[in-house]
Amino acid sequence: MSESLRKQAGRRDLEPERPLPASRFPLPASGHFAERAGIDRRKFLLAAGGAAGSLFLAACDSFGPKKAKPILQFAERKNESLERVLYRHSSMNVPRASAGTTGGAFPSYFVSPQVPVWDESVRGAWRLEVAGLVKTPMKLSLDDLSSLPRTGYRLDHFCVEGWTAVATRQGVRLSDLARLVGAQPQAKYVDFQSFDDDYHESWDIESAMHPQTLVVYAQDGRYLNAAYGAPARIYSPVKLGYKNTKYLTRILFLPERNGGYWSDQGYEWYGGV
């Protein structure tokens, strides 16, 4: 709103010397402020449009007021509590019959500049370390994993971006692995760490022990390729894609949550589906 318009629109700002513009419809003094201030249709529309427009532009593509951050974090904590109430071990993901297996069209995300590949000549043989609050920490080779009871599901993948895809995942139930290493009751959280730079994501133990939470080493019937997280990755439909660490190196049972690559940057830590 321009200064002159503001002056005319606000009754208190009117200069007493200046005569009011004549109204097309002379009204008694008890008229609406619009007539007393002499606002005609054009001025009214300009003023209203200007005010609405500036408000609108102020909001455009904005991160929102910084002061709102504690409120947003409060809402995230409350949402997590609700999501943990809604969580059921018994709820199982079954992709719709009409959904085809996505196959090679399945996107492959990683945070390193190139596809992370475990170079045995530099880093030695790959082992999955299962440690933390466990009775017997273990280092498992891919052969060890393959020899453990195999579980497979055809599962939806829910990406935080809004897309979904379907793949068959085969591997070891994390709950089986937890029994094998003797995870202790104090372990309320699990951290999944990788060799994709410092990518990791920590989970609540309930989600980690879901029957569809798998240490996956095969997708659609073949061992994982490098794009999809070889040699092994965590996968569960109870979590959004970014919570499912690929290129696994270590599974740590922890008493406290340990953040995560994306959760530390502003995405929800819980990331439940």
Partner 1 sequence: MKRHHAVVRVTHWVNVVALTIMVGSGLRIFNAYPAFARKGETFCCYPFAQKPIPASLTFGGWLAGARNWHFAMMWVLVVNGLVYLGFIYLHGEWRDLVPRRGILRDSWEMVKFYLFVRKDHPHQGKNNALQRLTYFAMPIVGIAAVVTGIAIWKPMQLSGLTNALGGYVWARYFHFWAMLVLVVLSVAHIFMVFTVDPYSIPAMITGRYRESWSPEARNARPLIHLLPKHDRTPRV
- What part of residues 53-72 is at the interface with partner 1 (CB under 8 A)? 59-64, 68, 71-72
> According to the binding rule CB under 8 A, does residue 220 interact with partner 1?
no
> According to the binding rule CB under 8 A, does residue 86 interact with partner 1?
yes
CB 60 within 8 A of CB 52: no
Shorter beta-carbon distance to partner 1: residue 132 or 260: 260
Q: Taking the complex as a whole, how short is the minimal distance between the CB of residue 118 and partner 1, in angstroms?
A: 26
Locate 260 and state its tokens: 């995560």
Q: Taking the complex as a whole, how short is the minimal distance between the CB of residue 251 and partner 1, in angstroms?
A: 22
> According to the binding rule CB under 8 A, does residue 158 interact with partner 1?
yes
Spatial separation of the C-alpha atoms in residues 122 and 138, rounded to whole Å? 22
CB atoms within 10 A of CB 229: 25
Element holding 178 (H helix, E strand): helix 174-181
> According to the binding rule CB under 8 A, does residue 20 interact with partner 1?
no
Q: Taking the complex as a whole, how short is the minimal distance between the CB of residue 39 and partner 1, in angstroms?
A: 9
| Segment interacting with partner 1, rule: CB under 8 A, options 78-86, 112-120, 137-145, 191-199 | 78-86
DSSP code at position 23:
P
Identified binder of partner 1 from the candidate list 162, 185, 221, 256, rule CB under 8 A: 162
Spatial separation of the C-alpha atoms in residues 201 and 260, rounded to whole Å? 4
> According to the binding rule CB under 8 A, does residue 164 interact with partner 1?
yes
Shorter beta-carbon distance to partner 1: residue 49 or 182: 49
User: How far are the Cα atoms of 13, 34, 40, 261 from residue 27, in angstroms, in the given order?
Assistant: 21, 11, 14, 67
> According to the binding rule CB under 8 A, does residue 106 interact with partner 1?
yes
Picking from 181, 272, 270, 170, the residue whose alpha carbon sits closest to that of residue 215 is 170
Spatial separation of the C-alpha atoms in residues 92 and 95, rounded to whole Å? 10
Shorter beta-carbon distance to partner 1: residue 82 or 117: 82
Locate 15 and state its tokens: 């200069």
CB 166 within 8 A of CB 100: yes
CB 19 within 8 A of CB 27: no
Spatial separation of the C-alpha atoms in residues 99 and 91, rounded to whole Å? 19
Shorter beta-carbon distance to partner 1: residue 62 or 136: 62
Identified binder of partner 1 from the candidate list 53, 107, 182, 255, rule CB under 8 A: 107
Say how many residues touch partner 1, by CB under 8 A.
Answer: 63
Residues that bind partner 1 (CB under 8 A): 24-28, 32, 34-35, 40-41, 44-45, 48, 59-64, 68, 71-72, 74-76, 78-79, 83, 86-88, 91, 93-94, 96, 98-100, 102-107, 156, 158-166, 237-238, 262, 265-268, 272-273
